[in-house]
């Protein structure tokens, strides 16, 4: 009986997810072309990053896929070029778990590009172990916040050279559960994977708020978003192939697919609204109010300054 009740509860929860996703899913109907424009998408080899990159390529953009797994990136690029007819899609290696890789990636972009119209901070990870990178940072915090933070800081100058450029950062609706402790920003004490993920996504919002404030008057907008509950390969490690297939099919039925999950990214990157508002948080193509934890006075600026220290931002690297 216990297993039946557990199964029933699981089905009810998944059904609720499906109903929620069906009710809230929006689609970017904007027809804006991106010919002559340059877009960087991190984590563009799979999932919502790949679908966003595909959409930008279909609009005529020069798309730079910033990826760690180059084999998957090659496969994704071939698929994007084949489906859009746009072969101006490039792959550049980027490993957010290495600050040196971030710096090398930016140096390459600055050498090859004269402009940057859109930066999409999409790449991130959940469920990473409590281990440290060679930079002395907890892996999950570096993948989700410190790496994207450094990347954004180093690309601000190129963004400033480009009229009406945009920064779009993928956060999560889990951010309100980040009970933020500025003294434990690297999540070293009392490690908890869920706590870390929520904190890192809260940091994405704090970064966006501070960018919006510091970039006032430059024409650059910065916004964050929750993509929705999106289908992933979360069951890839299940050893039983039959159970894995059933579970994956269930996720595919109840959750958004990657193309639907990419719509708010696309909206903020190409719509008029995305170019007129800054420092805001979006979900299902609409601006949403922030939870109280994200409105703590002065906390966003403190997070910014501590982040500069954690990534060892040199004086000549500081954008402000």
Query: 69 in the Ramachandran plot: left (φ > 0), alpha (ψ -120 to 50) or beta?
Result: beta
Q: Which residue(s) pair with 92 in the sheet?
A: 66
- Give every CB contact of residue 157 below 8 A, 6+ residues apart in sequence: 110, 319
Tell me the angle at which helices 2-24 and 241-254 cross, rounded to the nearest 10 degrees.
40
Distance CA(168)–CA(71), nearest Å, equals 26
- Give every CB contact of residue 5 below 8 A, 6+ residues apart in sequence: none
Catalytic residues: 197
Read off the tokens for 186: 């690297």
Q: Which of 118, 107, 208, 211 is nearest to 163 (CA)?
A: 118
List, as one string, the DSSP characters of 198-245. HHHHHHHHHHHHHHHHHTTTTT-EEEEEE--SB---TTTT-S-HHHHH
| Positive/negative CA dihedral, 38, 41, 44, 47 | negative
What letter would DSSP give residue 178? -
Instruction: 247-254: list long-range contacts, CB under 8 Å, 24+ apart.
Output: 250/14, 253/18, 254/14, 254/15, 254/17, 254/18, 254/21
Backbone angles phi and psi of 92, in degrees to 5: -130, 130
- Give every CB contact of residue 315 below 8 A, 6+ residues apart in sequence: none
Distance CA(57)–CA(254), nearest Å, equals 29
């Amino acid at each position: 009986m216990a297993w039946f009740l557990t199964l029933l509860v699981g089905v009810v929860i998944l059904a609720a997810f499906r109903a929620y996703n069906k009710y809230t899913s929006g689609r970017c109907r904007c027809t804006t072309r991106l010919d002559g424009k340059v877009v960087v998408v991190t984590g563009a080899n799979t999932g919502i990053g790949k679908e966003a990159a595909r959409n930008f390529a279909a609009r005529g953009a020069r798309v730079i896929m910033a990826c760690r797994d180059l084999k998957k990136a090659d496969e994704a690029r071939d698929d994007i070029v084949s489906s859009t007819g746009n072969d101006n899609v490039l792959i550049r290696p980027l490993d957010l778990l290495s600050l040196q890789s971030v710096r090398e990636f930016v140096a390459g972009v600055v050498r090859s590009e004269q402009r940057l119209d859109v930066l999409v901070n999409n790449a991130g990870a959940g469920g990473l172990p409590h281990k440290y990178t060679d930079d002395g940072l907890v892996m999950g915090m570096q993948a989700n916040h410190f790496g994207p933070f450094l990347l954004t800081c180093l690309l601000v100058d190129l963004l400033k050279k480009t009229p009406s450029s945009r920064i779009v950062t993928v956060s999560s609706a889990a951010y309100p559960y980040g009970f933020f402790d500025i003294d434990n920003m690297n999540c070293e004490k009392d490690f908890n994977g869920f706590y870390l993920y929520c904190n890192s996504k809260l940091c994405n919002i704090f970064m966006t708020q501070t960018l919006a404030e510091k970039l006032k008057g430059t024409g650059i907008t910065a916004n964050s978003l929750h993509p929705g509950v999106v289908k992933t390969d979360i069951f890839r490690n299940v050893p039983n192939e039959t159970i894995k297939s059933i579970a994956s099919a269930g996720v595919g039925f109840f959750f958004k697919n990657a193309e639907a999950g990419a719509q708010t990214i696309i909206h903020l990157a190409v719509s008029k609204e995305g170019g007129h508002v800054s420092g805001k948080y979006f979900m299902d193509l609409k601006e949403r109010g922030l939870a109280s934890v994200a409105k703590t006075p002065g906390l966003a600026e403190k997070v910014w300054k501590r982040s500069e220290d954690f990534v060892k931002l040199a004086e000549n690297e500081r954008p402000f």
